[in-house]
Amino acid sequence: MYRKTIFEKVAEKFHTTPEEVYAEIQRAIDAGYDNPDPKVQAEWRKVKIKGDRPTPEEVINYAVSTLTADRR
């Protein structure tokens, strides 16, 4: 059974492509990640990343796990 990704769902809603949604999210992440504020950087250190900066998938996974943990 095929399930749409969050990127596909958002793209449909806003009449664009999943690739453009992904790119926009990455641009927003990059802008936030480059913020030099120590408090902002402390929050970014909580996100587990594999590369040199977070990907949309990593940020979404972090947000979901944080929200899920908060509900318990």
Q: What kind and span of H or E run contains 7?
A: helix 6-14
- pLDDT of amino acid 2: 73
What pLDDT, in 10s, does the model give residues 15-68? 999 999 999 999 999 999 999 999 999 999 999 999 999 999 999 999 999 998
What pLDDT, in 10s, does the model give residues 36-51? 999 999 999 999 999 9
Q: What is the DSSP string of the chain?
A: -----HHHHHHHHHTS-HHHHHHHHHHHHHHHHT---HHHHHHHTTS--SSSS--HHHHHHHHHHHHHHHH-
pTM (two decimals):
0.86
Q: What is the DSSP letter of 4?
A: -
Residues whose CB falls within 8 Å of the CB of residue 7, separated by 6 or more in sequence, listed in order: 18, 19, 21, 22, 25, 56
